[in-house]
Amino acid sequence: MKKIKAGIINVTGYAGVELARLLCRHPSVELVSVTGRSAAGKKLKAAFPHLADLDLSITADLEGDVDVAFSAMTHKASAEAIVPLVKKGVRVVDMSADFRLKKASQYAEWYDFEHPAPELLHSAVFGLPELHRSSIAAAGIVANPGCYPTSVILALAPAVKAGIIEADIVVDSKSGISGSGRTLTIPTHFSEASDNVRAYGLGGHRHLPEIVQELDALSAPGFVSVTFVPHVVPMTRGILSTCYGNVRSGKLKGGREELLKIYTEFYRNEYFTMVVAEPPETKHTLGSNLCLVYPLLSAQTGKMVVVSCLDNLVKGAAGQAVQNMNIMFGFPETAGLEAVPLYP
- What does the pLDDT look like over 124-167, one tens digit per residue? 999 999 999 999 999 999 999 999 999 999 999 999 999 999 99
Tell whether the torsion through CA atoms of 233, 238, 239 and 242 is positive or negative. negative
Tell me, yes or no, whether 257 and 202 share the same domain: yes
Tell me, yes or no, whether 77 and 122 share the same domain: yes
Tell me, yes or no, whether 169 and 260 share the same domain: yes
| Residue 77, domain member (yes or no) | yes
The DSSP bridge partners found for residue 126 are 143
Q: Does residue 42 sit in helix, strand or coil?
A: coil
The whole domain housing 53 covers 4-144+316-328
Residue among 82, 99, 100 at smallest CA distance from 91: 82
User: Model confidence at 68, in pLDDT bands (50, 70, 90)?
Assistant: very high
pTM more than 0.95: yes
Tell me, yes or no, whether 252 and 156 share the same domain: yes
Q: Does residue 310 sit in helix, strand or coil?
A: strand
Q: What are phi and psi of 298, to 5 degrees?
A: -65, 125
| Residue 341, domain member (yes or no) | no
- Give CA–CA dist 299/302, Å, rounded: 6
| Residue 14, domain member (yes or no) | yes
User: Model confidence at 222, in pLDDT bands (50, 70, 90)?
Assistant: confident
Residue-wise pLDDT for 157-212, tens only, equals 999 999 999 999 999 999 999 999 998 899 999 999 999 999 999 999 999 999 99
Residue among 122, 105, 40, 116 at smallest CA distance from 78: 116
Catalytic residue numbers, as ranges: 147
Residue 119 neighbours by CB under 8 Å, 6+ apart: none
Q: Please tell me the total count of domains within the chain.
A: 2
What b-and-e string marks burial along 240-268, b requiring 16 or more CB atoms within 10 Å of the CB? bbbbbbebeeebbeeeeeebbebbeebbe
Residue-wise pLDDT for 19-67, tens only, equals 999 999 999 999 999 999 888 999 999 999 999 999 999 999 999 999 9
Whole-number Cα distances in Å, 178 to 27, 130, 183:
28, 25, 10
